[in-house]
Amino acid sequence: MTGMKLCYCTDVEGNIDYFNRYVALSEGVYYDSNGRLELRPGYIFVFGGDAGDKGLGTLRLYRLLIDIKTKYPTRVVLIAGNRDVNKMRFTSELTPTELDLATMSRDLVDGPLWVPTKGRVSVKDFLCNEVLQQSPDTVSASMLASVNNKVNRVKWMLKHTMGSDGDFERRRAELQDSKADTVSDEDVVASYVSSVEAGGILREYLQLCVLSYVHGPNLFVHGGVMNKDGEGCVGYVPSSEKPQDDLSIASWVSALNGWYDSQLAGWIAQPTWLPDHSYRGGQSLQAYGLPVATHSVINGRHLYPSGMPRLLPEDVVARLWQDGVRRVIMGHTPHGISPTIVKQPSPDGGVFETVMCDTSYSDASRPDNRGNCVSELVVDGECAVLRGHIDTASMHEVFDFSTSDSSCVGYQLPNNGPWVKLRTTDGAYLVCTITNGFLYTYEEMEAAVVESLMTSSTEAA
Q: Is the pLDDT of residue 1 over 90?
A: no
Q: Is the pLDDT of residue 430 over 60?
A: yes
Residue 450 CB: number of other CB atoms within 10 A? 24
Both 162 and 236 in one domain: the answer is no
Residue that is last in its domain, among 142, 170, 198: 198
What is the domain extent for residue 324?
Answer: 5-85+204-406
Q: Mean of the pLDDT values across residues 115-142?
A: 95
What whole-number percentage of the chain has pLDDT above 90?
83
Q: Is the pLDDT of residue 351 over 80?
A: yes
Residue 146 CB: number of other CB atoms within 10 A? 13
**416: in domain:** no
CA-based end-to-end distance of the chain = 42
Report the CATH number that the domain containing residue 9 is assigned in CATH: 3.60.21
Both 177 and 230 in one domain: the answer is no
Instruction: Give residue 158's pLDDT.
Output: 98
Q: How many domains does the chain have?
A: 2
Both 248 and 396 in one domain: the answer is yes
pTM, two decimals, is 0.96
Both 209 and 333 in one domain: the answer is yes
Instruction: Give residue 178's pLDDT.
Output: 86
**56: in domain:** yes
**425: in domain:** no
Both 308 and 175 in one domain: the answer is no
pLDDT in tens, 412-428: 999 899 999 999 988 89
Q: How far apart are CA 270 and CA 320, in angstroms?
A: 36
Helix-then-strand count for the chain, H and E: 15, 17
Both 52 and 95 in one domain: the answer is no
Both 32 and 119 in one domain: the answer is no
Both 339 and 231 in one domain: the answer is yes
Instruction: Give residue 327's pLDDT.
Output: 98
Both 68 and 213 in one domain: the answer is yes
Residue type, 29: V
Measuring CA to CA, how many Å separate 348 from each of 86, 218, 390, 434? 40, 18, 36, 31
Residue that is last in its domain, among 198, 217, 240: 198
Residue that is last in its domain, among 382, 406, 430: 406
**445: in domain:** no
pLDDT in tens, 360-383: 988 888 888 898 999 999 999 899
**451: in domain:** no
Both 162 and 208 in one domain: the answer is no
Q: How far apart are CA 155 and CA 127, in angstroms?
A: 10
pLDDT in tens, 210-262: 999 999 999 999 999 998 888 899 999 998 878 888 899 999 999 999 999 99
Instruction: Give residue 459's pLDDT.
Output: 57
pLDDT in tens, 21-66: 999 999 999 999 999 999 999 999 999 999 999 999 999 999 999 9
Element (H, E) at 340: strand 340-345
Pairing of strands 419-423, 429-435: antiparallel
**459: in domain:** no
Largest CA distance in the chain: 74
**453: in domain:** no
Both 340 and 383 in one domain: the answer is yes
**442: in domain:** no
